[in-house]
Amino acid sequence: MRDLLARIPIHFALLFALTLGLAPFLPEPHIWEKLKMLSAGTLSRPIDIFDLLFHGLPWAILIAKIALGQFSTRSSQD
């Protein structure tokens, strides 16, 4: 999994998170809507759960890329 993430350029991960992760932009991004539903306890329909996973995946990839990049930078400095 680490090798797969290493092959994804950071600028593609960022572009993916800002486009697919925030789509549709109006009236509010889907990921924001689904996170509000999750915190309110109303995220129960399968389509809503799929939406959360679908729009959250680009953000998870970006966060993993950043975390692995910071971790590998620290270990190379030791």
Q: What residue numbers bound the domain in which 26 lies? A: 2-77
Condensed to tens digits (0 to 9), the pLDDT of residues 1-52 reads 778 888 888 889 899 999 988 888 888 888 888 899 899 999 889 998 998 8
Rounded to 10°, the helix 10-19/46-77 angle is 150
* Under 8 Å between Cβ of 76 and 39: no
Total domains in the fold of the chain: 1
Q: For position 73, what pLDDT does the model report? A: 45
Give the tokens for residue 36. 């509000």
Confidence category of residue 74, pLDDT binned at 50, 70, 90: very low
Confidence category of residue 70, pLDDT binned at 50, 70, 90: low
**Contacting residues for 19 by C-beta, under 8 A, at least 6 apart:** 58
* Under 8 Å between Cβ of 56 and 21: yes
Nearest to 49 by CA among 33, 64, 27: 33
Q: For position 9, what pLDDT does the model report? A: 86
